[in-house]
Structure 1
Amino acid sequence: MKQQNLVLIFFFCLNFSLFAQSDQDSIPAFSKNGISKPSILSTNPFGIFISRLDHNFKLKASCRMEIDIALESGNVWGPNVKTYIPNDPALQRQMSTREWFSRQYFIDETQIDAGYFEIETDGVIKGLRGNLTIPTTKNQELIVGFRAFVLTNGKLPLSTLTADRFIEFFHDNVAGGDDPFDRRVFGLDRAKFLYTDRNGRSFDLGNGDFLTAGIETHYYYYPTFLNEKKIYFNLGAHVGTNLSKYNMSMDVGASAAGVKQFDLNDRNFMLFGLGANVLRKNAVEFQDDNFDFGTNDFIGSFEVNAEYTFISKGKTYHSFGLNYYAQTSLQQKDEDAYNIYVRDDDATNSWGHGTRHLYKNNDYWTLAYTFTRKISTSFYIQQDFTVNNNPDLQTGVSVKFGI
């Protein structure tokens, strides 16, 4: 059995083992603290190589140590696209007057003076995350975590909702139409990640190949001056260390988030959260040959979250959340006005998304359900409706418990 299958089986065994013990006195009680949101960061093919920041919608610092383990699965797809960035200002002006999909017919690839990068993505990216929360003072806490990703072909049953066959079944029978992204043209259940950056560095990865990993440190402070009005804030400082051979560097960032609670009665309440953060990519580089995963040095994101919770007779919290996440583009947008995109000869439908949308702000919606008693268990499904280079469909499950 392949290495990634062993990781997945281990995670599910851990999840069900912890759930089976949820009524035993040996497990400390875990209380709901703010919006019960797992990590909903997408398995964006470029984004996984940097330390993108999630948003924190807790009401207060944790009073005991906690462990959070999460598994995510996202289907990524984009046929091969070659991108030329003209150096000649006259050619830039000429290309800016042409439709982006037609520019390739006005140049000779062998003669053009231009920068160049090439991308092709196909498969299901599996991510495993873990966090340890450590209380430091009454209103402050430290979170230390890790992340790791592998590329798989997404075959059933380990990728039921994120498999190519399920997504194309959905397109055929619900929305999208017949093969709107040319998946069937190139074959289903494949795994490939080809990338050549503008500095000429390249990799070509397939099924079971390890993609990237990292270590993250987050420090949060929770002011209390508005708590009496049931308004809660937190401020965060963040350091992420990227540990893959493709990008060995350190990112730094800052965040702020707020939550407002509305009590409907003694067993029903709603929470609304707003969060924003900014990240400086590759603030410190540990090697000279890091890949270029986007020309924007600063990445910002914004998140809106609404959650309804009811408490059942067994004192179990059932929470239903709807989340909107938006992030600034990974590439500087000006280039898209004159870039020359050259498609694969077999690609006809939506072939430019995987490359062009690196120049667009990306966003997605997430629907989550969490039940909390002595353990908090979350499930979510995520959709990128604007096809902005995130997975067509992503799912995740996480468990959180006190120790």
Structure 2
Amino acid sequence: MKQLSLFLSLFLFVSLFSFSQENTSSEPFIKENITKPSILSTHTFGVYFSRLQGYFNSKPLKNKTLSLSLESGNVWSPGIKVYIPKSEADRAIARTYNWDQAHRGFDGRSYEKDSFSTKNDGVIKGLRGNLNFKLAEKHELQIGFRAFLLTKGKAPFTLLTGDKFIESFHSNIAGGEDPFDRKVFGLEQAGIEYTDRNGNSLKVDNGNLFATGLETAYYYYPESLSNKNKRFYVNFGAHLGINLSSSNSSLDFGLSGNALKTFVINDRSNFNVGTSLGVLKKALADFKSDNLEFGTNNFIANSETALEYSLRTKSANVHSFGVIFYIQTSLNKKEELEYIVPIRDPLAFNSWGHGATNLYKNNDYWSLIYSYTKKGVTLSFYLQQDFTVINIPDVQTGFGVQFGL
């Protein structure tokens, strides 16, 4: 967190310093959008349904634009089974214990309960693509796809998100020796297993392509809520996602609102602030009866805040530096965490429960982004970190390219 605070302090210092510079040209540098690839995490549940993120543009894109992004996220949690008592009397017993000791209240006796189990290991590679085109003066349409591949995360195909790099960082810089028991179960393994409380299950092995889907978004830019003189802009989005995996074949629907404030500094630099709010209804329609339940909350809300400083070179190329904070509401109903009865894997001792407890917590993470634009082509790179250590995933990197057609 100290490193993050230092970065934000430097970010604000550079921005404020730039504001103090005199405008040296009659044609200031104006960039009324925030450049970013997809920054959605490779959460092992979240990849199975549509999720919303900020879209910070002042107006519909002038030309048809294709965006592609690759992401790599390390996911890890040892196997865990969770019992959920059905009766209020049994729930009251569980509440008298910390969640990791709740099983002691039920040792040696049976009780009515639901259950689910989960186990996650590997590096998830994601591929996303979006095609945006202008429908009318204030209207824009986006059509996209997503697909994910589970890998062992070995070099040279995986560097910053591989097990060996992460555990070397823990051992030599921060975290201590094997703080999450990765080494106990073996590094560079791959496998995802999940059984929901209805008894439906999935199993993903190394090399499996999974969690595919199609996504569409319609954006409307109302003039009544924007102010061109103050360079403040608003757009609203309606989102429709079609989940195509064998584990979740369904239709999601969401709504979002995005606001952008642009500060023109001088003829070479520009500063943008963006904020976004969204809400998604999972499984508005199911296409099959045995879809897995990826969380008990049917509605998922999200918020995103983005800062971006951009610098234009003398040759008209643009360097952009951004930081984004993203937060999403919990996948499971939070009150259930008070009375769950988790059972750990016998080999797991360090942070053994986070594969289950993180389902009851808001997901949040920071993304640091660098983008470079030349002749209408933009390349973006980002590093994403989960500082709350709920493994959604632990570390993620991404690369994106955007160009007009």
Q: Check whether TM > 0.5.
A: yes
Give unmatched runs, 5+ long, in structure 1: 1-30
In the TM superposition, what whole-angstrom CA distance separates every residue of 1:146-184 from its partner, at most 9, and x where no partner exists?
000111111111111100000011111221111110100
1:361, 1:388 within 8 Å by CA — same for their partners in 2? no
In the TM superposition, what whole-angstrom CA distance separates every residue of 1:6-26 from its partner, at most 9, and x where no partner exists?
xxxxxxxxxxxxxxxxxxxxx
Counterpart code for 1:320? F
Name the structure 1 match of 2:403: 401
Give unmatched runs, 5+ long, in structure 2: 1-29
Moved more, 212-221 or 198-207: 198-207
Shift of 1:109: 7.7
CA 1:264–1:109 in 2, change beyond 3 Å: closer, same or farther? farther
2:121, 2:190 within 8 Å by CA — same for their partners in 1? yes
1:343-358 alignment, distance < 5 Å: 343-358=344-359
Shift of 1:389: 3.6
Task: State the aligned residue count.
Answer: 373
Name the structure 2 match of 1:383: 385
Shift of 1:206: 1.4
In the TM superposition, what whole-angstrom CA distance separates every residue of 1:330-351 from its partner, at most 9, and x where no partner exists?
0011111000000001101011
In the TM superposition, what whole-angstrom CA distance separates every residue of 1:162-212 from its partner, at most 9, and x where no partner exists?
000000111112211111101001000000101010001112221011221
Identity %: 49
Shift of 1:369: 0.2
In the TM superposition, what whole-angstrom CA distance separates every residue of 1:249-287 from its partner, at most 9, and x where no partner exists?
000010001011112211111100010000000001111
Query: How far apart are the structure 1 equivalents of 2:125 and 2:290?
Result: 26
Query: How far apart are the structure 1 equivalents of 2:199 and 2:103?
Result: 21
Query: How far apart are the structure 1 equivalents of 2:305 and 2:41?
Result: 16
1:4-403 alignment, distance < 5 Å: 34-108=33-107, 111-224=110-223, 225-373=226-374, 374-403=376-405
1:32, 1:317 within 8 Å by CA — same for their partners in 2? no
Query: How far apart are the structure 1 equivalents of 2:179 and 2:400?
Result: 32
Q: Equivalent residue of 1:265, what SS? A: coil
1:119, 1:194 within 8 Å by CA — same for their partners in 2? yes
CA 1:35–1:221 in 2, change beyond 3 Å: closer, same or farther? same
Name the structure 2 match of 1:6: none
Query: How far apart are the structure 1 equivalents of 2:161 and 2:404?
Result: 31
Query: How far apart are the structure 1 equivalents of 2:288 and 2:94?
Result: 36
CA 1:109–1:239 in 2, change beyond 3 Å: closer, same or farther? farther
Moved more, 262-271 or 324-333: 262-271
Query: How far apart are the structure 2 equivalents of 1:105 and 1:193?
Result: 28
In the TM superposition, what whole-angstrom CA distance separates every residue of 1:116-163 from its partner, at most 9, and x where no partner exists?
000000000110000011110012110000000111111111111100
Name the structure 1 match of 2:12: none
In the TM superposition, what whole-angstrom CA distance separates every residue of 1:356-375 from its partner, at most 9, and x where no partner exists?
11001110000000001220
In the TM superposition, what whole-angstrom CA distance separates every residue of 1:83-121 from its partner, at most 9, and x where no partner exists?
000012111001101011111233248823100000000
Q: Equivalent residue of 2:229, what SS? A: helix
Q: Equivalent residue of 1:185, what SS? A: helix
Shift of 1:33: 5.1
Q: Equivalent residue of 1:106, what SS? A: helix
CA 1:157–1:79 in 2, change beyond 3 Å: closer, same or farther? same
2:141, 2:216 within 8 Å by CA — same for their partners in 1? yes
Q: Equivalent residue of 1:228, what SS? A: coil
2:32, 2:272 within 8 Å by CA — same for their partners in 1? no
TM-score (norm: length of structure 2) = 0.90
1:272, 1:307 within 8 Å by CA — same for their partners in 2? yes
Query: How far apart are the structure 2 equivalents of 1:293 and 1:123?
Result: 19
Q: RMSD over aligned Cα, in angstroms? A: 1.2
Query: How far apart are the structure 1 equivalents of 2:108 and 2:377?
Result: 58
TM-score (norm: length of structure 1) = 0.91
